Amino acid sequence: MLKKPLLAGLILICIAAITILSSSAFAQNYPNRPIRLIIPFAPGGVTDIGGRYIANQLSLKLGQQVIVENKSGASGNIGAAFVAQSEPDGYTLLLGFDGTLVINPHIFDKIPFDTLKDFSAVAKIGDAALILVANNDFPGKTVNDVITLSKKDPKGLSYATSGTGVTPHIAGELLKQKTGANLTPIPYKSGGQALIGLMSGDVPLAFTVLAGANQYVQSGRLKPIAISSKVRVPSLPNVPTFIESGFPDIYVTSWIGVLAPAKTPKTVIASLNTAINEILQTPEAKEKLNAIGITPTPTTPEKFAEQMRLDLNLFGQIVKTAGIKAE
């Protein structure tokens, strides 16, 4: 007759084996029905366009339709919360955005999800560089010019952003905190409206995603100052980075990626990660995403999760110092 400790040990081993076999069988059958990709913003923006492209390609690769659903509101919090509360079976995914996942937790008094506890990182799609641009009446040409001019005027210099607490706003605050520049953010309802305000002369500067400003820089309607990525971008090879301009701490990009509810089986996450990374490495994906200002950056779920953890800490410090709160 088996002793109780031995019997208990055997029961635990059996349970573990059943769990592993069940997980393996689930992974082999996954996916066997359509998958929903929740985009927490309205249709039409860079995030939405990038997410829809990945969804279409993922449908072809997985042999099951990946249906895009836009659940906008509260700066992405509504859609993110919906996914966080969904069944962790791999059939409801989130198109994650840095603003929602690593900035919102610091600027909202209450938020309906915990970025690190309620989600499993699946795959990072890519980074979108930011650019500091000026209108053609602005007398400066470099980052040092911006800093010097901002300190000469007691009122400082204003810069347009696509809203309060968005990544371009954070980038401007980072520049201010690292250099002592006297800068004041002017939030607009969108990046497009911010650029209109800049070109009309309402503000001298704007921090925005490169995709939105690119055509105006190339046509000479806007003056580029510096790009926030680590290296220059192919579409604007003559525009230096902040790092090249002598400011190694000014490195900020806006990213998007795919996440699942916490406790989604690791085998399912691994399957999705492999599929998305294979898509990102194709010439077509690079061309399509680069065209909207996103540089594909395939990586592992673990490295994507680590970036979110680090960004939560980095942006939290910037937000706290600046005293930013959601409007």
At residue 44, the pLDDT reads 87
pLDDT in tens, 109-128: 999 999 999 999 999 999 99
Domain span(s) for CATH 3.40.190.10 in the chain: 129-227
At residue 293, the pLDDT reads 86
Rounded Cα gap, residues 249 and 114, in angstroms: 28
At residue 21, the pLDDT reads 47
Q: Which of 11-15, 57-61, 97-101, 273-277 has the lowest mean pLDDT?
A: 11-15
Q: Which of 16-20, 186-190, 271-275 has the lowest mean pLDDT?
A: 16-20
At residue 27, the pLDDT reads 56
Residue 9 has pLDDT above 70, yes or no: no
In whole angstroms, how far apart are CA 294 and each of 98, 147, 211, 246?
13, 28, 8, 25
**Backbone torsions φ then ψ of 171, nearest 5 degrees:** -60, -40
The fraction of the chain above a pLDDT of 70, given in percent, is 91
Q: Which helix (H) or strand (E) holds 192?
A: helix 191-199
Residue 281 has pLDDT above 80, yes or no: yes
The better pLDDT of the pair 57, 18 is held by 57
Q: From 3.40.190.150, 3.30.300.130, 3.60.70.12, 3.30.110.30, which CATH number describes the 33-127+254-322 domain?
A: 3.40.190.150
In this structure, what token pair is assigned to residue 246?
């002598």
The better pLDDT of the pair 305, 327 is held by 305
Q: Which of 6-20, 232-246, 247-261 has the lowest mean pLDDT?
A: 6-20
- Mean pLDDT for 134-163 is 96
Q: Residues near 274 by Cβ (< 8 Å), separated by ≥ 6? A: none
Place of tokens 């996440």: 259
Domain span(s) for CATH 3.40.190.150 in the chain: 33-127+254-322
Measured N-to-C along each axis, helices 283-291 and 266-280 cross at an angle, to the nearest 10 degrees, of 80
3-state secondary structure 220-250: CCEEEEEECCCCCCCCCCCCCECCCCCCCCC
With cut-offs at 50, 70 and 90, classify the pLDDT of residue 3. low
Q: Residues near 70 by Cβ (< 8 Å), separated by ≥ 6? A: 38, 39, 40, 41, 42, 43, 48, 79
Indicate the class that CATH gives domain 129-227: alpha beta
